[in-house]
Amino acid sequence: MSKIAVTLSEILNEKRTIEILKTLQNGPQHIRSLHRAIGGSMSTIVDRVNSLLQAGLLRETELSRREKYLELTERGKAVVSVLDWLEMSVTKSKMILDRPKKWILALLYVLEEIKGSTRLEKLLFLLKEQFGVTGGPFYQFTPYLFGPFSSEILEDAKALRDMGLIDISLDTIVASELSDAIFIRKTYRLTEKGKEKAKKCYMEIASDERVREAIYKMREYNSMPLSNLLNYVYEKFPSYSPPPEMP
């Protein structure tokens, strides 16, 4: 990972940083007007702005002879677009801890951490399709860009975060040194409150030895490089492979 990607990972986990980026979506602003729009301490705003300037997400421009204004760079606009996409979800998440949500908690109870929404999707898919242990209501999958996908998983993960049971942190990844492509990966972990609830979910769901064995098998798949995990799923379940690239 490049040095800039590490910097982005650090600053994008700051609430004020995201607020600055989104405020500047509406056009260039002087730092004083930015401060008025966001609130908080001016020193914090200045500190976050300096971090964004160093990361190449903002630049200063002169809209008048007397003062400089802040505006998003193309890279900054790309990051904001990705953030907006990540926040798109149903406006009213069900706050009921139903059985599918319990599976996410039970899985995190055993694995402790899952890096990436794509990985989370594939682990739950394997529990259902390869091991057949899920029973009752569960997620329905359809072929998508990276194989089997269920939008309900991402919605339920957000609901679990809103319930204070899991933490979802953001990490930025630059595709390569020769590319400007930016990816933001979510990492899923239990909160302290969530650990207690997840243990109860695990005890409820994994009362059968076959279910316990399947969940612990997910440790192997969770530790695989993502490319290996995807290839495994594509080979074992070819009907869920992503569509061929357009010519």
Structural domains in the chain?
A: 3-87 (1.10.10.10), 99-240 (1.10.10)
- The pair of structure tokens assigned to 144 is 């998508």
8 A C-beta contact, residue 184 and residue 21: no
134-143, 155-164, 173-182, 212-221: least confidently modelled range: 173-182
Mapping DSSP to helix (H, G, I), strand (E, B) and coil, where does residue 178 land? coil
Quote the pLDDT of residue 14: 78
Across the range 75-87, mean pLDDT stands at 83
Across the range 223-228, mean pLDDT stands at 94
Say if residue 90's pLDDT is above 60.
Answer: no
pLDDT digits 0-9 by tens, 118-149: 999 999 999 999 999 998 899 999 998 899 99
The whole-angstrom separation of Cα 75 and Cα 72 is 8
pTM: 0.64
pLDDT digits 0-9 by tens, 25-74: 988 888 888 988 888 889 989 999 998 998 889 999 876 667 788 999 99
Quote the pLDDT of residue 135: 86
Work out the burial of residue 181: count CB atoms within 10 Å of its CB; fewer than 13 is exposed, 13-18 middle, 19 or more buried: exposed
Question: What percentage of residues in the chain have a pLDDT greater than 70?
Answer: 84
Across the range 187-216, mean pLDDT stands at 95
Q: CB neighbours of 151 closer than 8 A, spacing ≥ 6?
A: none
Quote the pLDDT of residue 4: 45
